[in-house]
Structure 1
Amino acid sequence: MEDKLQITFLGTGTSQGVPVIACQCAVCLSTNSKDKRLRSSIMIGVGDKNIVVDTGPDFRQQMLRENVQHLEAILFTHGHKDHVAGMDDIRAFNYAAKADMPVYANEETEVALKREFYYVFSGDNYPGIPKVLLNRVDLTPFELFGKTIIPIGVMHYKMPVTAYRIDDFTYITDANFISPAEKEKIKGTEVLVVNALRLTPHISHFTLAEALALIEEINPKKAYLTHVSHLLGKHDEVSKLLPPNVEVAYDGLTFTLS
């Protein structure tokens, strides 16, 4: 029997998170837990294996909140700080499993990881540093824990970002352009997650209207909006504007995809 995917939204916020430091807007002052957003990341459970997509600055907090006891691999979308800053905290999983952590990243992200975490890759083998097995990702599918991982090339302004499809689940963060050829990889997806930063245009992220247009084009059974800023509005108010098959994701949201 094929393993189902267990999806957990570890964080659904933008680079500043929500609330934003020193902001007094209605969203940042909201008492609704769904308006509290850590930096964007998801965890995908495949059988008894856990895969995390991106280790942002809140990675440690997210692992503790979800009581994650083991982690078998990390997929990186790109090298911006809000998606890689927490990688140092994989040390705990190295220690628990007594194994190096497989990490998957495109060439640009590899450069960023080696710059930000120079001590991991220096060869000095200093005691206590994270132990990683770095795997280069291009746009060619690869196998992981019995699943075919399909990398999808999207653009974050001028920066190549890797989205990922596993079975009928596709996760796209930090994008504002997807070529027709790469969209073909997404079609047929049952569940689509896509970034929707705010209502007004942005140089490197989809707006709500742009995200909804992509969802309409792909026509998944279900879609979730992530990488949401305080400028999009309150969770409950934005939810009223959405088609029946679209939801604003929130931190801690979990579902199973067969």
Structure 2
Amino acid sequence: MTVTFLGTGTSQGVPIIGSKHPVCLSNDSKDKRLRVSVLVSWDDFNYVIDCGPDFRQQMLSNPIEKLDGILFTHEHADHVAGIDDIRPFFFRQGDIPIYAHERVINSLKRRYDYIFADEDRYPGAPAVRVHEIFKNRSFTLGGVTIVPIEVFHNRLPILGFRIGDFAYLTDVKRVEEDQIRKLEGVKCLVVNALRIEPHHSHLNLEEALAFAKTIGANKTYFTHISHLLGFHAEVERSLPENIHLAYDNLKITI
């Protein structure tokens, strides 16, 4: 299984438009972060987790011939606003499977009604095949078991996913014990680490380090990173040996 970090930034990306913060002015490519998303590939299958506003750019940087589906963690714009850019895949493949909680599906239907229309469809619009995810019901994609993990983004319940020995959690602030048990034995964990200071709906660096220690994966990568976490190179040097900052276009093998 190969995981490609398509984007590792927070909702505004890094750099932030018009910002003069030193990290936003950095010349290090690892300090330039598109909105958060990953491509998970195994055998002949390609699945994307979240499809944010930078999806087109991410696919041009990491081209794939086919997209087998999109798993959505939740409905916030930085995780869904690129859904219209699935059109090239739709024109080649037909309806693109999407997997999401019922609340997220309903949000997408309201905001992108033309994608879900049954009648009077615009000829250039993409179409999707909807699959509802239930928080305590695993499912199978490409012969691999997908285990939904419910986490809390402030008070909003959202989903992470365990895919074999890989687990992807973003926008996390709190995880209940019964969901943590689903992560036992995972070899590679990805979780958000927004910044140094505490935040009401995201783990900060200290909290993310504590969570990583609790899970005890062989490797942990931090994502959904803002400019306020600091320079990539400096933060990376401060982390334990088995914990790393992810960066855009990083590829890892599980």
Fold match by TM threshold 0.5:
yes
- What residue in structure 2 maps to residue 166 of structure 1? 163
Please state whether the residue corresponding to 1:165 is helix, strand or coil: strand
Please state whether the residue corresponding to 2:229 is helix, strand or coil: coil
- What residue in structure 2 maps to residue 115 of structure 1? 110
- What residue in structure 2 maps to residue 128 of structure 1? 124
Shift of the alpha carbon at 1:36? 0.4
- What residue in structure 2 maps to residue 100 of structure 1? 95
Q: Cα deviation per residue 1:84-128 (whole Å; 9 max; x = unaligned)?
A: 00001111101122x211100001211211111011123222211
Q: Percent identity?
A: 50
In 1, Cα distance between equivalents of 2:131 and 2:142: 15
Q: Cα deviation per residue 1:206-244 (whole Å; 9 max; x = unaligned)?
A: 000000000001111000000000000000011111100
- What residue in structure 2 maps to residue 61 of structure 1? 57
The one-letter amino acid paired with 1:121 is F
1:1-258 correspondence to structure 2 within 5 Å: 5-97=1-93, 99-124=94-119, 125-139=121-135, 140-257=137-254
Q: CA RMSD in A?
A: 0.8
The one-letter amino acid paired with 1:200 is E
Greater shift, 197-206 or 119-128, is seen at: 119-128
In 2, Cα distance between equivalents of 1:108 and 1:207: 27
User: Which ranges in structure 2 are unaligned for 5 or more consecutive residues?
Assistant: none
CA contact (8 A) 2:49 2:70 kept: yes
In 2, Cα distance between equivalents of 1:222 and 1:196: 15
The one-letter amino acid paired with 1:174 is D
In 2, Cα distance between equivalents of 1:126 and 1:67: 27
In 2, Cα distance between equivalents of 1:204 and 1:96: 39
Divergent runs of 4+, >6 A: none
In 2, Cα distance between equivalents of 1:158 and 1:130: 32
Greater shift, 38-47 or 118-127, is seen at: 118-127
The one-letter amino acid paired with 1:147 is V
CA contact (8 A) 2:116 2:127 kept: no
In 1, Cα distance between equivalents of 2:207 and 2:177: 15
Greater shift, 36-45 or 69-78, is seen at: 69-78
